Structure 1
Amino acid sequence: MDTNDNAPQFDHQVYAVNITENSPIGTLVLKLNATDLDDGPNAEIIYSFTLYTSEKTQEIFTLNKHTGEIKVNDMIDFEEIKILEMHIQAKDQGHYPLSGQCTVMVYVADLNDNYPEITVKSLRSTVKENVPIGTVIALVGTSDRDSEDNGKVDLSINKQLPFVLNKSSESDFELVVSQSLDRETYTQEYGFDRDE
């Protein structure tokens, strides 16, 4: 008769997997494979998370105890978490069970899934037509929760207007008067009432 003298062994001690945020529920992340050189129940393997795997991670992923398949079970948001770590055990079904363990590192890739946000702080409630060129009218701030190129914001203004945006920092701009303001010209050109 076979003695349960071999512990299950994973192909690797550490697995590294890349996944994109917002991956659909049911997406296969990884199929683990552990082998046991014994026979019968001594070689039948059950997979499970160990206590070192956080509850949040266990909510985000499911682990099939018979096949070793890890699948997405909940929304993954790069802006909340960038790396997820799972500690998994393979235990045989012998009378005195033996087990082997591995670690799965999941690296989340960012998607461009956040809209840029713009805040405007007006420095003047009205602007007189004789205001000097270079006068700052408003401060404009931009932000985007995405990372790297996905988080870079390009801000522009209609070139026909007598204003320009000057960059004061990575995400801040100044709205500045760029040419002489003539109320009568802009009233005719843009159809404003004289009281506007």
Structure 2
Amino acid sequence: MNDKREATNRSTPEIDPVTLEILRNQLESVATEMGHVLIRGAYSPNIKERQDCSTALFDASGRMIAQAEHIPVHLGAMPDAVDIVLQKDPKPGDVFIVNDPFAGGTHLPDITLVSTIAPTDEVIGFAVSRAHHADVGGSAPGSMPPGAQEIYEEGLRLPAVRLVDGGDPNEAIYELIRANVRTPDEREADLR
């Protein structure tokens, strides 16, 4: 287990049950609203119409503190993505992108964005969204070729990298993604 997570568990103060229930409901409503915003603002039919996406909130040590009721497999794998991002020394204003199933992802079309929450100069948590994108390149449209023998045939594999660095979009990553998909405008619009 993450040493930072263990240390945080030992120092968590007691919270009375009423306050805990109020906080739980408020945080879950934030995660749910994140999902609604993602769906309403999406360009891809997979996200907008099929609602193949999930959202959650994590604390600074990577513990999931609230999730919306979306896709269970997305939510079950999200902590792995956050753990990978924690190893990258996230700073305020950073947004990491990852879809690598060997490093926090589920399968290549499920792109995860891990955004830091930092109202001051300290990261206090993460807002995380995972959405199934219609195409991430590969040998066939839809990025799920039935005869694929290797992951490379499925599309672009993204390790956890900064899509936004300290509030500034990393245009090189956007350019890399656009160059490797069949619908670059839709991919970029959904990611932004």
TM-score range, shorter chain: under 0.3
Which protein has the bigger helix share? 2
**Which of these two proteins has the greater Rg computed from alpha carbons?**
1
